[in-house]
Amino acid sequence: MMNRVQTIRSIKSNPKTTALIIGAGINGIGTFRDLALQGVDCLIIDRSDFCSGASMASSHMLHGGIRYLENGEFRLVREALRERNKLLRNAPHLTHPLPTTIPIFKWFSGLFNSPLKFLGLLDRPAERGAVIIKLGLMMYDAYVRGDSPMPRHRFDNRDKVLRKWPALNQDIRFAATYYDGGMYSPERLAIEILLDGEAEGDHARALNYIRPVRSEGNEVLLRDEISGEEYSVIPDIIINAGGPWIDFINNEINGKSNFIGGTKGSHLIVKHPELREAIDGHEIFFEYLDGRIVLIFPYLQDHVMIGTTDIRIDNPDQAVCTETEIEYILGMVPQIFPSLKVTREQIVFQFSGVRPLPVTKGSTGQISRDHSIEVLEKSPQTPWPILNLVGGKWTSYRALSEQVADQVLDRLNQARQASTSRLPIGGGKDYPADAYKQQTWLKNIAKKSGVPLGRIKQLFARYGTRTTEIADFLAKNPDSSLKHLPGYSQGEITYLVEQEMVTHLDDFLIRRSKLAWINQVSIDSITELAGIVGEELNWDDTKKQQEINRTCEILEKRHGVVL
C-alpha cells in the first residue's frame, strides 16, 4: 500500500486511470473496493477527509427502514434488510444487533393514511397505531425469513412494557420490539473498506484532501488541498460519488446536472446516564408531535444520540445544527420519558449532514430513499461518461457499489471476478465467532506479541482482528501510554497516521477515533496528540499550532464543542 506522498508521486508519473471516483463517502469507497477487487485501475479522491460528508452524519442505523414501507419503497426495504444482515456478518467488530422499540399509544390510527400516502393523496405524517405497525413488522420479518441472525419482532402489553421501561410515558398501550443493526463508528467501517480496496494492489489508489478544479480536454486538473500543488489525471470513466455535492462536482468538470435535492438532518450526542439507563440498551424509535419518526439511540458508554431533523437545503456546505434544531431535538425526550429532561449542558457533540436525495417536490419525509445511477454520457465538454450515484442508504452501500462496478465492467467488456457479498471487511476477517474462541484468540496474540492482555482487549474492541498487525507494530516500535488520553498509546496513534492516511489532527479526533464524540478532548489532549501526529508528518511548531487551532475551530463551529 502507498502512503499519501507515494500516491501523489505515482499520479504525477502515471496520470492515466480507468475510473476516477470523485467523493470518498461510503458509496465512493464501496465502489472503489469493488472495482479494485475486479482488477480495474481506479483512483478515489475526496476534497476533505474520507467519510466526512453525509456518511459521517447518519443516524448510525443499519436498517431496512420500516418507515419506508408506508411510502411503498418495498424494493429498497428488502435490499437494505439483506445488506444489513451482510454487514453484521462481514464486519462483526464494527456493527452490532440493535434491539429497537416502538412505543405505541393508539390501536387503529394510521391504517388509512398509509394507502393514501402511497397513492400520493396525503403528504402530512399521521400517527401510526398498533395495527399498522404490526403489519409493517410482519413484512419486515418476512423479507429476511431464514436469513436473519436476529430474533423476529414481538408485541408487549402495557404492564410488561412499564416493568421493563418504568420511565416511559404512562399513556402507553403497547410496545413493538424488533431488531435492526447499529454501528458506533461509520467512519472506521468506511476507512477499513477503503484500506481493503487499496490492499488489492497499486492499481487502486486513494487520496484525501484533493479536489478537481477544472477539466481540459480529457484531463481533469486536481488541486492538492494540503500543498496547493496542481496535477492532472486522465480517466476513461468518471464516477461522481459526491453525495449531496454531485451537481457542484459536475459543474467543476464542465458537466451540467440537477440531480440532488438534499435535506439536512442533525443529531445531538448527550451524556445522560439516567436516559441511557431508561432506554435499557434499546433504540427507541417513535413518532414525534409533528408526526415525524425520530430516535433515541444507545451510544457509547453513558452517551445517547438523539435525532433527527429533515429540512430542505440548497448548499450542503452550510449544513450545521441550528439553535432551532437543538430546541426541537431536546423536546423529543420528555414526550416519551416525561420525568427525564435533557439540558444544553448535557450536549457533548452535535452533527449535521445532508441526505443526497433526488430532486422532488412534496414533503421531505416522502422523498424516496432509494438509490439510482444517473449517467451523463460523453459530450464535447465531458469526454468521459459520468456515472452519478444518487441517493441510497449507508446500509445498502455494497449493493449500490456492486451495481456501479457492474456498469463499469460492462463498459470495459470485462467479466466480474469476485463478489463482495460474503467478503469480510478489515478487522472482521477471521473474526473469532464466540466468546470462548475470542478469549483464546486474544491470549494467543498477547503471548505472541508480548503486549499485555488488557491492552490487546482494548485494541480488539476498536480494530477487530487487525489487532494482530497493530500489536506487532507496538512490539517492534517505541510505545508509551498517553498522559491525557487514557486507553491510547503513542504507538497506536503512529500506526494509524501511517496506515490510515491521517492528514489533519481532526481526522484522528473525529473519524479514526470517536474521542471527540464522547467528550474526551481537551486542550491538553489535543496538544499531546499534535506532538505525536506532527512527529510522523514532519510538522514544525507553527504547523502544529495551526493544526490545534483548526481542530478547535471545527469542534466549536461544526460540533458545538467549546474547549
Give me the residues that bind ligand FAD (CB under 6 A), please: 22-28, 45-48, 52-55, 57-61, 63, 211-212, 241-245, 249, 252, 265, 308, 353-356, 389, 392-395
* Angle, in degrees to the nearest 10, between helices 523-537 and 541-559: 130
Choice between 35 and 456, CB closer to ligand FAD: 35
Q: How far is the CB of 98 from ligand FAD (least distance, A)?
A: 10
Choice between 106 and 282, CB closer to ligand FAD: 282
Q: How far is the CB of 107 from ligand FAD (least distance, A)?
A: 29
CA pair distance 540, 497, nearest whole angstrom = 17
Q: How far is the CB of 395 from ligand FAD (least distance, A)?
A: 4
CA pair distance 477, 473, nearest whole angstrom = 6
Q: How far is the CB of 427 from ligand FAD (least distance, A)?
A: 21
Q: How far is the CB of 354 from ligand FAD (least distance, A)?
A: 6
**Is-contact 266 325, C-beta < 8 A?**
yes
Q: How far is the CB of 317 from ligand FAD (least distance, A)?
A: 9
Helices (H), 183-243: 186-198
Q: How far is the CB of 391 from ligand FAD (least distance, A)?
A: 7
Q: Is 152 exposed, middle or buried (0-12, 13-18, 19+ CB in 10 A)?
A: middle
Sequence-distant (6+) residues with CB within 8 A of 185 are 94, 514
Give the helix, strand, coil percentages of the chain, each rounded to 5. 45, 20, 35
Choice between 384 and 488, CB closer to ligand FAD: 384
State the pairing for strand pair 311-312/303-307: unpaired
CA atoms within 13 A on the CB side of 361: 1
CA atoms within 13 A on the CB side of 191: 23
Give the cell for residue 123: 403528504
Choice between 184 and 394, CB closer to ligand FAD: 394
CA pair distance 217, 215, nearest whole angstrom = 6
Q: Compute the Cα dihedral for 221, 413, 400, 385 and give only its sign.
A: positive
CA pair distance 356, 389, nearest whole angstrom = 9
Q: Collapsing DSSP states into helix, strand and coil, what is residue 266?
A: strand
Choice between 235 and 356, CB closer to ligand FAD: 356
CA pair distance 517, 510, nearest whole angstrom = 7
Choice between 357 and 516, CB closer to ligand FAD: 357
Q: How far is the CB of 452 from ligand FAD (least distance, A)?
A: 37
Choice between 249 and 279, CB closer to ligand FAD: 249
Q: How far is the CB of 509 from ligand FAD (least distance, A)?
A: 17
Q: Which of 304, 261, 257 is nearest to 279 (CA)?
A: 304
Choice between 47 and 276, CB closer to ligand FAD: 47
Whole-angstrom Cα Rg for the chain = 23
Q: Scan for cell 421531505, then name that residue.
A: 364
CA atoms within 13 A on the CB side of 522: 7
Choice between 255 and 392, CB closer to ligand FAD: 392
Choice between 200 and 252, CB closer to ligand FAD: 252
Q: How far is the CB of 190 from ligand FAD (least distance, A)?
A: 8
Q: How far is the CB of 187 from ligand FAD (least distance, A)?
A: 10
Choice between 347 and 446, CB closer to ligand FAD: 347
CA pair distance 239, 21, nearest whole angstrom = 5
Q: How far is the CB of 347 from ligand FAD (least distance, A)?
A: 17
CA dihedral 273, 276, 281, 286 (to 10 degrees): 180
Choice between 245 and 441, CB closer to ligand FAD: 245
Q: How far is the CB of 58 from ligand FAD (least distance, A)?
A: 4
Choice between 308 and 420, CB closer to ligand FAD: 308
* Angle, in degrees to the nearest 10, between helices 435-449 and 467-476: 20
Choice between 58 and 350, CB closer to ligand FAD: 58
CA pair distance 281, 254, nearest whole angstrom = 50
* Angle, in degrees to the nearest 10, between helices 74-90 and 130-143: 60
What DSSP state is assigned to residue 395?
Answer: T
Phi, psi values for residue 106, rounded to 5° = -135, 160
Q: Which of 266, 365, 364 is nearest to 323 (CA)?
A: 266
Q: How far is the CB of 524 from ligand FAD (least distance, A)?
A: 30
Give the cell for residue 222: 486536481
CA pair distance 422, 206, nearest whole angstrom = 24
